[in-house]
Amino acid sequence: MYSHGSESLLKQARDIQDAEMAKFCSRMVKQTQGPQGPQARDQAPHLEAVDSLQRLHLILAASGRARSLPSELHQRLLALLLSSSGEQLQLLCAAVLRETAPPSDHKLNYSQCSGGALNSHTLGLLVAQVSKEDLPSLCGLLLRSLEAPEGPAHSRAPEGPPHSLTHTLPALAAIISHSPDCLTEDHVTLLNKKLIDWLRYASTQQGGGASSVGFFTGPRIRQPGPVTELDGGPSGDFFTVLCVAQGFTEDQWMNAHAFSLLRAWLLASTAGPGEHAAEADDHSDVDGSVVSMVSATSSSSRLFAPRERLREKAFLYAQRLIEQSDRKALKRADSELQKAVCLEDVSQVFRAFPAVKALYGRLSPELGAARVLLASRQCDSTTRETAAVDCEPVWRLVFGRLPAELFNDPHLAHSLLRFTRLHLHHLQPRVVQYTQAFPNLLKFLAWDSPAVLEDFVDLLPSLVTPGTAVELLHSLLDLPCLSATLVLQLRLASPISEAAGGRAQLSLEAFRSPAHRGLFLFLLRAEAGSGDTIARLATLHRLLAEAADWPRVVQAAQAVPVLLHVYFNAVVTVANEKLLSQLVSVLLERSSLLFNIPTFIKEIHRVLSFHLLRFCKLRPSLVVDQSHELLEFAGTTANAFSKEAVFTNVVWLLGEVLSGGSDPRCSVELITSCFESLEAVLFEVTSSAPPPGEEPVAPRVITSLMSALAKLASRSHDLIPRVSLLLSKLRAAAAAARGGAVLWSREEDLVAIVTRGEELCSLLRLPGVAQSVLTPPPRGPRWHRDLNVAPSRQLRALSGLALLH
């Protein structure tokens, strides 16, 4: 807690009134008008300004509400921030301005800013609050600050990191990443030249001086020696971020900062007109050796424009880094840095390929360098055909071993999925291993679905093909089981798995058991093609029952409905009628075989019922093709209780589509068979109590069954007496049950059932009218197809006509 004095100050800052705040700001305007440069730092006005700025920052930070400063004071503080007024004043001005919004009319002349005032406080605020119109002026200021005095004496001076340039480059990187078009051609040329100098011509001598005689200095100070490689050997011909030294010169620090900016700048800068010619020259010399090509290009690189020269120097720099990464580092920290460096610029394919291939050959056995391997594979994504490279072993590693063994590495998951998204246009048509590897890729999703769900929403359509559609659907529905299996796999491999078993003891024993090993191995398969699903799904669900509340399993279950919508939207674009027919059968079967998480089952039933209806509306012939499976599903009374959403849509499809007008194959025998199955189900669900643990059947199910029976009877008039008698009995039973209903406790449920029965009975008294209303032609009036109006309004309108007869 704060002390009593601090609490008092905070209370005063919070309670300050607007009038008092205005007087305080007016006084600050006068205080900041005097000289505030280095020569005034010990004068009283300077100290008063510092004290007032501290108080103003306390007021703004403690008030908890947005305050705006007078425009004049805002301009004065901004001018102080950009002047050589000392770091203390700059820090306070930046802190105050960060708590306020800039006035709408404020303008700043960046050309009058002092280059020496640029530091992290200044630039952070400018980049955050600059308007889009002022971006070119700010970029001009930043680039002018890069034009420090040059020359050997300056650039090689062992003065440590430069004060302003190290802040300027990150600010430029932030601007370039968001608005690369704000730079003029002169700005681009200047930045290219500076990056070339820093990358290629940094000093190879160590910075700083090391004394050899304790605290005596003078002529016995050792002269700095050359920088070394990671293994202690002499350095190569130019400095890189992997060189080792006791101290670094200014240009060596800028070399490191330039390398951090390099990739973003190369991607953001547009290609010049001469670049294509340079690339064509490289391709024409492909049969020459790599060494001769590098030499020839290096000797002529000074003839290129700055943009092309920068790309050349960037390539040489990257090639040198790859060569340095082959050395064995003496320190562990240097070894970690080696793993972080990889080749990103792949514009010069033929020259880069030998180095990348050598790097891949050295690192491929080491899964710890998986992210570096992915970066090196970016080259193969563009050279598979151009350089006639056999990439099959590479893709087997990328889509096989890496996700299978490192699915729990979040960095690898992000890198691999990002790599896949960036190169999807190449992978989908050309890399067979990609579509076959979806069981492996889904392990990332099963392990940490919130982190990678967005990636899979983009990638999933590319994995849906006629050959993988059915197996992929089963895999998505089994995602919670895969998540539980991955958890068990890691627990079993952990030294403390026995102690951590606890709640998962039964599942761990099942995972170890040879009798059930095949079930888990199928879930952990690396490639598609070994079968769509397994025959003992119910057994698997029972073995994993205790995993239903594990956090990873719950998260995986929550992701499945979203991905199913993406999957079904993609499958309708590639599926023929045979595949759709197969998918309808899978939907009906899997509605009964889902992992036992109640919310998961309810959501999946909702998604499956929606897309089942969509498939059959898209291809009405599917109802006749799959009539046996649909009738079997609708004729099972238990489905009316446990699968309300799917059951209701199946009943609606049977009643709506089974007619001679929709499909010539629909015979009277098929209509009669369907009628008898639905009649038995309706009688059973309305005359008996629900199974133990189930809710009473929903009124929506009852009214759907009643409507379906009436529709079928209108197409076979011999069935009209049977359905009229059934509806009359149902109406009478429902009316008699009012006030003491067992199946439906709500009055409105009974009213809905009775009303629907009266409407249908009235309509069936006029068979010709009933057939016109209940069996519309395939291209009938719109009200037959509009779910918002059909058919209740028409039924009520015709009920009066029927009663007249």
Quickly list DSSP for 449-501. HHHHHHHHHHHHHHH--TTTHHHHHHHHHTHHHHHHHHHHHHHHHSTTHHHHH
Question: Residue 416, Cβ neighbours under 10 Å: how many?
Answer: 25
Which of 56-65, 369-378, 596-605, 757-766 holds the top average pLDDT?
Answer: 596-605
Which of 159-163, 195-199, 228-232, 468-472 holds the top average pLDDT?
Answer: 468-472
- The pLDDT value recorded for residue 652 is 93
Q: Which residue has the higher pLDDT, 739 or 257?
A: 257
- The pLDDT value recorded for residue 499 is 40
Rounded Cα distance, 702 and 700, in Å: 5
- The pLDDT value recorded for residue 116 is 54
> How many residues appear in the chain?
805
- The pLDDT value recorded for residue 287 is 36
Phi/psi at 356 (5° precision): -65, -40
- The pLDDT value recorded for residue 484 is 95
Share of the chain above pLDDT 90, in %: 25
Q: Worst-scoring range by mean pLDDT, 95-109, 420-434, 569-583, 637-651?
A: 95-109
Contact call for residues 94 and 106 (beta carbons, < 8 A): no
**What would the mean pLDDT of 181-206 be, rounded to a whole number?**
84
Rounded Cα distance, 756 and 749, in Å: 11
Cis bond upstream, residue 791 (ω within 30) = yes
The predicted-structure confidence for 625-681, as pLDDT tens digits, reads as follows 999 999 999 999 999 988 999 999 999 999 988 887 778 888 889 999 999 999 999
User: Could you give the angle at the alpha carbon of 69 between the alpha carbons of 67 and 72, nearest 5°?
Assistant: 170
Q: Which residue has the higher pLDDT, 751 or 387?
A: 751
> Which of 127, 131, 136 lies closest to 184, judged by CA?
136
Rounded Cα distance, 351 and 346, in Å: 9
Q: How far is CA 641 from CA 48, 646, 648, 651, 698, in A?
A: 80, 11, 10, 14, 8
- The pLDDT value recorded for residue 615 is 94
- Which residues lie closer than 8 Å to 784 by C-beta, 6 or more apart? 776, 790, 791
Contact call for residues 342 and 265 (beta carbons, < 8 A): no
Contact call for residues 488 and 511 (beta carbons, < 8 A): yes
Contact call for residues 119 and 131 (beta carbons, < 8 A): no
- The pLDDT value recorded for residue 451 is 93
Contact call for residues 235 and 255 (beta carbons, < 8 A): no
- The pLDDT value recorded for residue 3 is 57
Q: How far is CA 500 from CA 506, 696, 711, in A?
A: 12, 42, 59
The predicted-structure confidence for 407-460, as pLDDT tens digits, reads as follows 998 988 988 898 889 888 888 888 888 999 999 999 999 999 999 999 999 999
- The pLDDT value recorded for residue 85 is 67
Write b or e for each residue in 367-376: b if 16 or more Cβ atoms lie within 10 A of its Cβ, otherwise e. eebbbbbbbb
Q: Worst-scoring range by mean pLDDT, 25-34, 196-205, 506-515, 567-576?
A: 25-34
CA torsion sign, 339 to 264 to 358 to 400?
positive
- The pLDDT value recorded for residue 635 is 92
- The pLDDT value recorded for residue 29 is 84
Question: Please, what is the average pLDDT of the chain?
Answer: 76
Q: CB under 8 Å, gap of 24 or more: what pairs does 509-513 form? A: 510/543, 510/544, 511/485
pLDDT band at 64 (very low <50, low <70, confident <90, very high): low
User: Could you give the angle at the alpha carbon of 118 between the alpha carbons of 114 and 119, nearest 5°?
Assistant: 155
- The pLDDT value recorded for residue 212 is 42
Quickly list DSSP for 298-360. HHHGGGS-HHHHHHHHHHHHHHHHHHHHTSPPSSHHHHHHHHH------SSHHHHHHHHHHHH
Rounded Cα distance, 644 and 642, in Å: 6
Q: Which residue has the higher pLDDT, 620 or 268?
A: 620
Residue type, 248: F
- Which tokens go with 719? 């069935």
pLDDT band at 256 (very low <50, low <70, confident <90, very high): confident
**What would the mean pLDDT of 169-173 be, rounded to a whole number?**
77
- The pLDDT value recorded for residue 796 is 52
CA torsion sign, 731 to 736 to 737 to 739?
positive
- The pLDDT value recorded for residue 158 is 41
- The pLDDT value recorded for residue 599 is 94
* pLDDT tops 70 at residue 782: no
Q: Which residue has the higher pLDDT, 579 or 150?
A: 579
Question: Tokens 């191995």 label which residue?
Answer: 521
pLDDT band at 372 (very low <50, low <70, confident <90, very high): low
- The pLDDT value recorded for residue 797 is 52
Q: How far is CA 725 from CA 46, 719, 732, in A?
A: 101, 10, 11
Q: By three-state DSSP, how is residue 786 classified?
A: coil
Q: By three-state DSSP, how is residue 226 classified?
A: strand
Contact call for residues 101 and 66 (beta carbons, < 8 A): yes
The predicted-structure confidence for 15-33, as pLDDT tens digits, reads as follows 777 788 888 888 888 887 7
> Which of 182, 186, 187, 82 lies closest to 125, judged by CA?
82
Q: How far is CA 519 from CA 23, 540, 544, 606, in A?
A: 78, 7, 11, 28
Q: Which residue has the higher pLDDT, 229 or 477?
A: 477
Q: What is the DSSP letter of 127?
A: H
The predicted-structure confidence for 541-565, as pLDDT tens digits, reads as follows 999 999 999 999 999 999 999 999 9
* pLDDT tops 80 at residue 789: no
Q: Which residue has the higher pLDDT, 724 or 153?
A: 724
- The pLDDT value recorded for residue 296 is 40
Query: pTM for this structure?
Result: 0.66
Contact call for residues 382 and 348 (beta carbons, < 8 A): no
Helix-helix angle 469-477:479-493, to 10 degrees: 70
The predicted-structure confidence for 275-309, as pLDDT tens digits, reads as follows 433 333 333 333 333 333 333 444 444 556 787 88
- Which residues lie closer than 8 Å to 239 by C-beta, 6 or more apart? 202, 203, 204, 227, 252, 255
